[in-house]
Amino acid sequence: MSEHGARILVIDDEPQIRKLLKVTLQAHQLAVTEAATGEEGLALASKTLPDLIILDLGLPGMTGMEVLGHLRAWSAVPIIVLTARDRESDKIDALDSGADDYMIKPFGVGELLARIRVALRHAARSAHEPVLRAGPLAIDLEQRIVELHGQRVKLTPTEYDLLKSLAIHAGKVVTQRQLLQQVWGNQHDESASHYLRVYIGHLRKKLEPDPTQPVYILTEPGIGYRLMAGEV
Contact criterion met (CB below 8 Å) for 83 and 41: no
Domain ranges of the chain: 7-124, 131-227
CATH of 131-227, one of 1.20.120.1200, 3.40.309.10, 1.10.3720.10, 1.10.10.10: 1.10.10.10
Looking at residue 22, its pLDDT comes to 95
CB 98 within 8 A of CB 107: no
| Superfamily of the domain at 7-124 | Response regulator (3.40.50.2300)
**Longest CA–CA separation in the chain, Å:** 54
Name which of 5, 84, 224, 203 is nearest 216 in CA terms.
Answer: 203
Per-residue pLDDT, 189: 64
Q: What is the pTM of this model?
A: 0.67
Q: Which of 98, 36, 38, 33 is nearest to 64 (CA)?
A: 38
Q: How far apart are CA 128 and CA 58, in angstroms?
A: 36
pLDDT tens digit at each of 232 positions of the chain: 446 689 999 999 999 999 999 999 999 999 999 999 999 999 999 888 899 999 999 999 999 999 999 998 888 899 999 999 889 999 999 999 999 999 999 999 999 999 999 888 877 764 456 787 877 888 887 788 999 999 999 999 999 999 988 988 888 889 998 898 888 876 666 666 788 999 999 999 999 999 999 999 999 998 999 998 754 4
